[in-house]
Structure formats: C-alpha cells, structure tokens
Amino acid sequence: MVGNLEWFNCNKEKAAEIDRLNGERLELEELLRVSEEERVENEKIIAKQSEQILTLTDQLANTSYELLQYEYIGEYTVTAYCCEKYPHICGGGKTASGTDPIPNLTCAVTDLKTFPYGTIIYIENVGIRIVQDTGGFHSNKIDVAVETHEEAVRWQNKKRKVWIIKENKE
C-alpha cells in the first residue's frame, strides 16, 4: 500500500508541475503575441514616417523653393544614441514625447522653444530628422537616433549647420 501511495503522490506532484509549466507557457505566449503586435504597429509607424520623409525629400529636391521654407538656426554639435531595446547608456526606451525612437529619423534636443516636438529639421550631411526627444546635454547639441549601439559609438561628433523645414504658407 505504501508503494501505491508514493506513486500517487509522485504523479500528483508531476501533474501540479505540468499545470504550473502550462500556465507559464500560456503567459509567455501572451507576451509574445503582445510583442508581435507592438512590432507590427511599430513597422506601420516606421513605414508611414518613411513615406513622409520620402515625400518631403521629393518636395525638397523638386520644388523646395515653392513648397517649403527653410529657417537657418545655426551650428550644433551632432551626436548619436542607439535604439536597441535593452538597458544601457544610450537609452532603449520611449522618447520624452512618448514615441518609440526611430533610427535615422528621431532626434533629441534640449531647446524645446526653438525645436518643439514634431519639428522637422535638416542637419547638414546627416539628413532630415524629426524632434521627438529631449536629452540631458548642453543646449547647442542635437542627438540623433541610430540603429545600434556600435553605430552610436562610431558616430563622429561634429558641428553641423541646422535648418528648420516648414511648409510654405504663401
């Protein structure tokens, strides 16, 4: 009788462990589903913003003097931070405006009076960027988002001319 009781208890423990592991598996599957939904949504946002950049670039190249105004703001030291999603010195989280940083599009400034969130800027030899973040650095600096930490480390910090791009209202 003792052998049967041990066998029963052992099987009962295994069944409880199986139930616990199944519960963990279901939780992980739900996290994966949510992460996949976030990835798909981020890809849609990136595609839309990439479309906007291409449209602006076309406008800039073809009829920029008619459609857009450029306001020269001055020279800024341009640095880089990465968008990798793990905790480290660069970031890896949401921007101060609440969006996810987008490599080669998002940039951070400290002077939100000159560059409010959503401001489209052109940085000499860098390209078009959108102000979506702020940083704890000096005022004559712009920090651009790049894909990887390695790319941010390799970035050459240089002074570059900066213009604000606006739609021509005339």
Q: Which residues of 107-145 are buried (b: 16+ CB within 10 A; e: fewer)?
A: bbbbeeebbebebbbbbeebebbbbbbbbeeeeebbbbb
Q: What is the pLDDT of residues 107-157, one digit of tens each?
A: 999 888 889 988 999 999 999 999 988 877 777 899 998 988 888 888 888
Amino acid, res. 81 = Y
**pLDDT (0 to 100) of residue 161:** 94
Q: What is the pTM of this model?
A: 0.59
Would you say domain 69-167 falls under CATH 2.40.40.10? Answer: yes
Please state, in angstroms and rounded to a whole number, the distance separating the CA atoms of residues 116 and 107: 12
Tens digits of residue pLDDT in 28-84: 888 777 777 877 787 788 778 777 877 777 666 665 556 678 889 999 999 988 887
Spans of all domains in the chain? 69-167
Closest CA to 111 of 71, 140, 73: 140
Q: What does the alpha-carbon distance between residue 68 and residue 56 come to, in Å, rounded to a whole number? A: 9
The rounded distance, in Å, linking the Cα atoms of 71 and 81 is: 25
